Amino acid sequence: MKISGTQEISPRTPLNPASRVGTPNSAGSSSADTVDSSPIAQQAMAAQASRHEAKVDSIASKVKQGTYVWPSSQQIADRIMDDAELTARLQAMFRG
């Protein structure tokens, strides 16, 4: 089989980076690639503080009503074991 009508391949011309939308090298994407975590951290701390305040208020009202029951030693041990198991799983995930 004979090939006829071949053309010379023109040299490759680079594309304008601004014309490439959605690529990591496009202009303006550097600001989209960064995350400012301080507002996220502030929101998380505020949410945690409100949950803590609600829990303390709940305990205080139960104490005033005389319905608060102290956790038993078994409940405390179960919480400690649950926390230790969760910590071990998280550490294993981050290492693996």
Q: Read off the pLDDT of residues 16-42 as tens digits, 9 standing for 90 and up.
A: 655 555 555 444 455 567 777 788 888
What is the CB-side half-sphere exposure of residue 39 using CA atoms within 13 A? 2
Query: Among 7-11, 50-54, 79-83, where is mean pLDDT lowest?
Result: 7-11
Domain count across the chain: 1
Residue 51: per-residue pLDDT: 93
Task: List, in sequence order, the alpha helices (H) in 1-96.
Answer: 29-32, 37-65, 73-95
Q: How confident is the model at residue 84 (pLDDT cuts 50, 70, 90)?
A: very high
Residue 65 lies in a domain: yes
Residue 2 lies in a domain: no
Question: Residue 84's domain spans which residues?
Answer: 38-95
Residue 4 lies in a domain: no
Tell me how far apart the alpha carbons of residues 45 and 40 are, in angstroms, rounded to a whole number.
Answer: 9
Residue 76 lies in a domain: yes
